[in-house]
């Protein structure tokens, strides 16, 4: 089974559509949360994910936008909080209803999906081997997929018991074999690894095991920035798209 995995779309419809076109046919599409926030097309992104994805979980921005008790606006900086309020004002009843149905963690067969981490699904940023080592205690299968950091990464619980942490370049592949791993596709709509290209992951599962491929694709950043300016979004969020930060 060929599975496309996306996360941290952040209302960037141009990046999302580019990723889906580049991905090609997949058996399933999984989304690891933060469909909305920061960008100018929240309803369009929610609609696309709702129609295309077979598994979707909530991110912290999704939860904040619908007023979930799991997230407080005080948890965000001032600009991010203002973006959350703007996004909430734009959401259609259908989009809100869809986001309200989502949880920040779920299992898809033997694969765990968590927005932040399996230990703290809403807010934890998995950026180190030490944090990942703790998270391996919170899921049962061999594979966990996470988002939230906007950085393509891989954590492996090796057969010797150590946990490795690696940044994953575009077109990098990995076959875990018997090792347990936590994989992050990187962000579709707002990469933060100094590479402005949209990021996603392909997970192949078959009788011989699993394999991962991290992918990047360029999209029309100026088109997104123009729309962000038109609707009056904060300059910092506009400028960062071309820098990948």
- Nearest Cα residue to 112 out of 213, 203, 226, 1: 203
Q: Which CATH superfamily is domain 2-242 in?
A: Metallo-dependent phosphatases (3.60.21.10)
User: Which pLDDT value is given to residue 80?
Assistant: 86
The full set of domain ranges for the chain reads: 2-242
Q: How confident is the model at residue 76 (pLDDT cuts 50, 70, 90)?
A: confident
Place 159 in a pLDDT band, splitting at 50, 70 and 90.
Answer: confident
Residue 90 pLDDT: 97
Query: Do residues 3 and 203 touch, judged by C-beta distance below 8 A?
Result: yes
**Could you tell me the pLDDT band of residue 72, with boundaries at 50, 70 and 90?**
confident
Residue positions counted in the chain: 245
| Residue 89 confidence (pLDDT) above 90 | yes
Evaluated on CA atoms 74, 43, 216, 4, the torsion sign reads positive
Helix (H) or strand (E) run with residue 90 in it: helix 78-90
Judged by DSSP in three states, 70 sits in coil
pLDDT of residue 73: 83
- Of the pLDDT bands very low, low, confident and very high (cuts 50, 70, 90), residue 185 is very high
CA angle 222, 226, 229 (to 5 degrees): 135
> Does the pLDDT at position 233 exceed 90?
yes
Q: Where are the beta strands (DSSP E) in 7-162?
A: 28-31, 55-56, 105-108, 111-114, 143-145, 153-157
Residue 112 has pLDDT above 90, yes or no: yes
Identify the residue whose tokens are 């992050």.
Answer: 184
pTM: 0.95
The pLDDT score that the predictor gives to residue 52 is: 97
The pLDDT of residue 74 is 81
Q: Token digits for 25?
A: 């046919």
């Amino acid at each position: 089974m060929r599975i496309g995995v996306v996360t941290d779309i952040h209302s960037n419809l141009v990046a999302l559509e580019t990723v889906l076109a580049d991905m090609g046919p997949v058996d399933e599409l999984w989304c690891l949360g933060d469909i909305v926030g920061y960008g100018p097309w929240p309803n369009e992104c929610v609609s696309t994910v709702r129609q295309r994805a077979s598994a979707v979980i909530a991110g912290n921005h999704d939860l904040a936008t619908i007023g979930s008790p799991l997230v407080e606006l005080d948890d965000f900086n001032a600009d991010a909080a203002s973006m959350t309020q703007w996004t909430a004002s734009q959401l259609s009843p259908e989009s809100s209803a869809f986001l309200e149905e989502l949880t920040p963690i779920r299992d898809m067969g033997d694969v765990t999906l968590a927005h932040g981490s399996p230990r703290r699904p809403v807010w934890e940023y998995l950026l180190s081997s030490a944090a990942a080592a703790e998270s391996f205690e919170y899921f049962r299968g061999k594979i966990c997929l996470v988002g939230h950091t906007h950085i393509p990464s891989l954590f492996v619980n090796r057969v010797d018991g150590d946990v490795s942490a690696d940044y994953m370049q575009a077109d990098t592949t990995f076959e875990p074999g018997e090792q347990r791993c936590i994989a992050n596709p990187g962000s579709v709509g707002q990469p933060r690894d100094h590479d402005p290209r949209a990021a996603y992951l392909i997970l192949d599962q078959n009788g011989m095991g699993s394999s991962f491929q991290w992918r990047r694709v360029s999209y029309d950043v100026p088109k997104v920035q123009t729309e962000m300016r038109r609707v009056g979004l904060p300059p910092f969020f506009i400028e960062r798209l071309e820098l990948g930060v």
